[in-house]
Homo-oligomer: A and B are copies of this chain.
Amino acid sequence: MSPADLDATFIALADPTRRAILARLASGEQTVMELAAPFAMSQPAISKHLKVLEHAGLVTRGRDGQKRPVRAQTEPLKAATSWMDDYVRALEASYQRLDSLLEALQAGPTSNDPIN
């Protein structure tokens, strides 16, 4: 996943309306009108949010007559989660190195310690 793709995914997730739309899609495909109903917001506003979600690959659109059913997709979420997991792992590994170092220093510093 390219940085730009990560950008698109996090941008899409960074809005409570869009996350609420996704949450509603967990119970299956919905039309734009169905998605718009619960929000105090115009239909074009919802269409704009859907475009942002689609651009991130978080939803795909079908065609059923005049309706354009919206369906959620998991792939970008998995890629984003994977970036975050890798990062947290790297952080915790570095904390652990620091912890061991502090522990070693407390046990009794020697001329071999990287600091001192």
Contacts and interface: CB of A to CB of B under 8 A. Distances in A.
Interface of A: 3-4, 6-7, 10-11, 13-16, 19, 22-23, 25-28, 72, 74, 77-78, 80-81, 83-85, 87-88, 90-92, 94, 98
B7 A87 contact: no
Contacts of A22: 87
* SS of A interface (majority): helix
Contact of A88 (B4, B78, B87): B78
Contacts of A28: 94, 98
Nearest to A2: B16
Contacts of A14: 7, 10-11, 13-14
Minimum-distance CB pairs A-B, first 7: A10-B14, A26-B90, A11-B14, A10-B13, A3-B16, A74-B88, A10-B10
